[in-house]
Amino acid sequence: MSDLLFEAKGVEVTYGQSQGLFGHGRPGVRVLHGVDLKIKRGETVGIVGESGSGKTTLGRALLKLVPVSGGTIRFDGQDITNLSPDAMRPLRRRMQMIFQDPMASLNPRHSIRQILTEPLFLHGLATDRRDAERQVRAILDRVSLPPVTLDRAPHELSGGQRQRIGIARAVLMKPDFVLADEIVSGLDVSTQAQVLNILKALSKEMGLSMAFISHDLSVIRAVCDRVTVMRFGEVVEEGPCETVFDAPQSPYTRLLLDAIPLPEIDDGWLTRPAPSLETAA
Amino acid sequence: MAEIVTTTADAPVPLRSLPMKTIKPLLREPRVVIAGGFLILLLLIAIFAPYIAPKDPLEQDLMLGNMPPVTSPGAEPGYYLGTDDLGRDVLSRVLYGSRIALTVAFVAASLSAIIGTLMGLAAGWYGGWADRIISRLVDIWMAFPPVLLSVLLVAVLGSGLHSVIAAIVIIDWTRFCRVVRAETMAQARLDYVMAAETIGFSRSHILWREILPNVAPVLIALVSLEMGIAVIVEAILSFVGLSLSSDIPTWGGMIAQGRQMIHQGWWVFVFPLIALFATVLAFNQLGNGLRKALDPVMRR
Amino acid sequence: MTQPLVAIEGLSAISTRDGGAPVLRDVSLTLEKGEVRGLVGESGAGKSTIAKALLGILPSTVKVTGGFIRFEGRDLLAMPRRELSDLMGRDITLIPQDPQTALNPARRIEAQLTDGLRLKLGMGKAAAHERALQLLDEVQIRNPERVLNAYPHELSGGMRQRILIASAFALNPKLVVADEPTTALDVTVQKEILRLIRRMQEAHGTAVIFVTHDLGVVAKICDRVTLLYAGKVIEDGATADMLTQPKHIYTSALIAAGPRYDRPNAGLEPVPEAVFRQLRAEIGIAERRV
């Protein structure tokens, strides 16, 4: 069994392409330009970039939520690049996602119980209602939420609680891989810490592979083993966190790191010129 | 409020079952309660008309033609709202008229809703060719003048409730289709739909179990508005004599009749008009109230 | 002794929507001329409410139940409408949070930038145009003519925020309220904007109230900081002191909760429940609210 869970090579994604009638098609906008990404089993890889970097698109491409216009994606050795939606369906249990906006990612008209138990039934992971209830209560406990939460609707929970439900939903099916797309961006720093600690603990317990998308390099450092830095749809630098953070090779990475305001006094920070993008490594 | 770490049981919101959770906010909205109450009353009147109405609505008594309502001098006791020129009791006819109004309202609105919703869901969710065909169909359909279509239908199908209902449904399904299509497309963009896809639910499961419950609030509100519209359309059609025969009491028919003899007896014109106005107002307010009460769930 | 520019004394307010729940509890703080003060806190702490109170734009659901907001000695809360709207937009201005929605998409930049100049200073069209060009130059926008003629959607987020900053400083205000002005921006753009705000502030001698949830931003641009929780001031002091020697356990807990890219083994410590218990006890909140 290969060590690599995900292997993406030369992935290209184009939006807005259309065939049109009689040759009046549109070429579309290329959002990812030949991106490579490798994720090992049990590894957490951070994908970082600013707006327009393509990081969100890359995550969605891995999960085949957006069509891939070039390159290949292998999941656990299998080429999934051109699989049809029907063929993808049985694989979906093994690759899950946690979303950025905890309000929008839980169906407002469903109860938490429904949101958590339906996937179990879909994939035959629960023998009956009692078994499903047991599993769901167990996962709620794991994310530090009380069982009464099951009877609530999403709008009755706080942002942090909803995000924990999002985590619970993702890991409930015991996937191999979880994509976390800016999952703490809208949260207060103490809630963020709580949510990330839960995620890290779960991921270690379950041996999950993760792709952690964020614009916040500090969060990435705290959560990830490796990091891929993206800009304008391309990979600018990638490597283990210690290497990239302590000795960044790319001028863009240095620019990003320099721009982060740390909570300590540094009188020159504002006036110091940012590292130039032209300087060679 | 700052996020507070909760590790043990908390229950800031008292526990209620899910159906109660949706009904409670409805009952808090005054428009829903008042308008809904009125319509339930109207429904009861329509069902129990034979027991409530003081006289037979069809019974003519030429000796008692054009009697004014009890408030005016020269009124005939027992005919509280007066009589028309054929001596028929206005009150009883207005009460019976609610039957026609509500029948048309419920049947026409439901059928339009069903057809329009199915088309709208298909167009909004499956997109592609389904959307292109359905949207084009709606555009063309809406270009047809509705009055002409109604008249045509009545000419073909013969006058009667069935043609009135058919006319309304055939014209108004497009309204539902457009609204449902737009709402479906808006919902489809939200993350919970993508979440359902990542879990592996089928396209049709997502449409019926995830999206439809979120389209429902807008739809329910629209059905209520449509009922008001249906009542008006029926009144207009019976005003111009394209609905039922003039013997069976309809509010539109009574208004038409009353208009002609407004100087001899204003009551034949006014009372059905009030009934019509109140009913349509009630449907509109119910619709507005429902939309407001059902929507804020998301907006908190 | 000169009086401070802004003196908020014992400001308390409740939310009429939440059944009278307090949003501000006896808040007091002062701001000197030319000082940059950070208003920090997590969501719901009340920092935005204070900012809105300063700008006179408290929503109708928030009712002030006590205290004063003195600007140059005059109580803003007791000021007649006329005087207040005279003050706003001239002596007290706003840098809003979201550059996407803060500009009117249907009007060109020139119109929006010159609004204040023409309304408050009575400038004519040509004079306002010249001044607008100067302002854009001050915020280092190249091609100012082209930008003036453009619509907001044609410009980047960073560019729009620069314009909003230009607009805020246009009339040489005494106080600028910056309401999370960099939260919606990329981190590299944030640094440029912070630099710009600092430069403009120094050049015009303006005091700034900087609302943010980010302690890092506070460290870089604020001279003094006020930390809020549930509408109450928890700690208040010079930024350097608060960050290196926090007096309250909540302050140190917040600092510890934030991850740092330069310290892989630090941060991500959630604020302990004990801290919240103490806070609640201090403030006098009887039960937990979520």
Q: Judge whether A249 is closer than 8 Å to chain B, CB to CB.
A: no
Average pLDDT, chain B: 84
The closest CB to that of B5, out of C41, C43, C276, belongs to C276
Q: Give residue B31's pLDDT.
A: 87
Chains interfacing with C (3 or more CB pairs < 8 Å): A, B
Q: Which candidate from C270, C273, C290 shows the least CB-CB separation from B1?
A: C290
B11 pLDDT above the threshold of 70: no
Q: Which helix (H) or strand (E) holds C94?
A: strand C92-95
Decide if A107 touches B, using CB distance below 8 A. yes
The pTM (predicted TM-score) of the whole model is 0.85
Q: Do residues C235 and C47 touch, judged by C-beta distance below 8 A?
A: no
Name the residue facing B298 among A105, A111, A155 (closest C-beta).
A155
Task: Please judge whether A221 and C260 are an interchain contact, meaning their C-beta atoms are less than 8 angstroms apart.
Answer: yes
Is pLDDT above 90 for B84? no
| B29 band by pLDDT with thresholds 50, 70 and 90 | confident
* A-chain residues near B200 (CB < 8 A): 89-90, 92-93, 119, 122-123
Among C257, C256, C250, C242, CA closest to C277 = C250
Cβ–Cβ of A261/C191 closer than 8 Å? Answer: yes
Question: A14 and chain C: CB distance < 8 Å anywhere?
Answer: no
Nearest to A207 by CA among A37, A44, A38, A7: A44
Residue A97 to residue B210, Cβ atoms within 8 A: no
CB pair distance less than 8 Å for C290 and B2 = no
Q: How far is C245 from chain A (nearest CA, A)?
A: 11
Query: What is the rounded CA–CA span in Å between residue A153 and residue A147?
Result: 13
Dihedral Cα C93, C97, C102, C105, nearest 10 deg:
150
Q: What's the full length of chain B, in residues?
A: 300
The reply to whether residue C230 touches residue B1, judged by beta carbons under 8 angstroms, is: yes
Rounded to the nearest 10°, the torsion over CA A78, A81, A85, A91 is 30
List all residues 6 or more positions away from C171 whose beta carbon is below 8 Å from its beta carbon. Answer: C89, C90, C93, C116, C117, C120, C121
- What pLDDT band is residue B8 in, cutting at 50, 70 and 90? very low
- Average pLDDT for residues B84-95, to the nearest whole number? 85
Give the Cα separation of C228 and C38 in Å (integer): 11
CB contact under 8 A, C290 and B10: yes
Q: DSSP class of residue A147?
A: G
Task: List, for residues B267-289, the tens digit of each pLDDT value.
Answer: 888 899 999 999 999 999 999 88
This complex has an ipTM of 0.87
Q: Which residues of C touch B12 (CB under 8 A)?
A: 288-290
Looking at the complex, report in whole angstroms how far the Cα of residue B187 sits from the nearest Cα belonging to chain A: 10
Percentage of chain A lying above the pLDDT 70 cut: 95
Three-state SS annotation for B163-182: HHHHHHHHHHHHHHHHHHHH
pLDDT at A57: 94
Distance of CA C9 to the CA centre of its chain: 18
Distances (CA, A) of B18 to A130, B211, B280, C221, C253: 20, 17, 31, 49, 38
Query: Is C272 in CB contact (< 8 Å) with chain A?
Result: no
Residue A61: how many other CB atoms lie within 10 Å: 25
- What's at B174, amino acid-wise? T
Q: What is the pLDDT of residues A146-187, one digit of tens each?
A: 999 999 999 889 888 999 999 999 999 999 999 999 999 878
With contacts defined as CB-CB under 8 Å, which chain C residues touch B4? 276, 288-290
B124: left (phi over 0), alpha (psi -120 to 50) or beta: alpha
A124–B contact, CB cutoff 8 A: no
Q: Determine, for residues C288 and B5 on separate chains, whether the beta-carbon distance falls below 8 Å.
A: no
Subunit partners of chain B (3 or more CB pairs within 8 A): A, C
Task: Give per-residue burial for C193-229: e unless 16+ CB within 10 Å, then b.
Answer: bbbbbbbbbeebebbbbbbbbbbbbbbbbbbbbbbbb
Would you call A190 an interface residue with chain C, using a CB distance cutoff of 8 Å? yes
Query: Which residues of B sit within 8 Å Cβ distance of C?
Result: 1-7, 10, 12
Chain A interface, best mutation among B18, B183, B194, B199, by max A CB count within 10 A: B199
- Distance between CA atoms of residues C271 and C250, nearest Å: 8
Half-sphere exposure of A15 (CA within 13 A, CB side): 10
Cβ of B3 within 8 Å of Cβ of C43? The answer is yes
Sequence-ordered alpha helix ranges (H) in A35-158: 55-62, 85-92, 112-122, 129-142
CB contact under 8 A, C230 and B5: no
- Touching subunits for chain A (3+ Cβ pairs under 8 A): B, C
- What integer pLDDT is reported at residue B112 of this predicted model? 95
Closest CA to A169 of A99, A91, A116, A108: A116
In angstroms, the separation between the Cα of residue B56 and the nearest Cα of chain C is 54
Across the interface, whether the CB atoms of B191 and A100 are under 8 A apart is answered: yes
Per-residue pLDDT of chain C (290 residues; tens, 9 = 90+): 578 899 999 999 999 887 788 999 999 999 999 999 999 998 888 999 999 999 988 888 999 999 999 999 899 988 898 888 888 888 999 999 888 888 999 999 999 888 888 888 888 889 999 999 999 998 989 889 999 999 999 998 889 999 999 999 988 899 999 999 998 889 999 999 999 999 999 999 999 999 999 999 999 999 999 999 999 999 999 999 999 999 999 999 999 888 888 888 777 888 888 898 888 888 877 555 44
Cβ-defined contact of B13 to A152 (cutoff 8 Å)? yes
Which of A226, A225, A199, A218 lies closest to A257 in space, CA to CA?
Answer: A218
In this predicted structure, what is the pLDDT of residue C290?
A: 41
* pLDDT tens readout for residues A114-144: 999 999 999 999 989 999 999 999 999 999 9
Residue numbers in B near C41 (CB within 8 A): 2
Minimal Cβ distance to B198: which of A90, A92, A194: A92
Distance between CA C68 and CA C7 in Å, rounded?
8
Taking CA atoms, what residue in B is nearest to C287?
Answer: B12
Give me the percent of chain A exceeding a pLDDT of 90: 71
Q: B218: part of which helix (H) or strand (E)?
A: helix B212-239
Q: Tell me if residue A14 falls in helix, strand or coil.
A: strand
CB pairs under 8 A between A and B: 98
How many angstroms from the chain centroid is the CA of residue C271? 25
Q: A269 touching C, CB under 8 A?
A: yes
C184 touches chain A (CB under 8 A): no
Determine which of A205-214, B231-240, C240-249 has the lowest per-residue pLDDT on average: B231-240
Question: pLDDT band at residue A20, thresholds of 50, 70 and 90?
Answer: low
**Which member of B2, B5, B7 has the closest CB to residue C44?**
B2
Q: How far is CA B282 from CA B42, B105, C100, C239, in A?
A: 10, 12, 41, 61
Q: How confident is the model at residue B76 (pLDDT cuts 50, 70, 90)?
A: confident
User: Cα-flanking dihedrals φ and ψ of residue B176, to 5°?
Assistant: -65, -40
Give the per-residue pLDDT at B7.
Answer: 35
- Chain B contact present for C230, CB below 8 A: yes
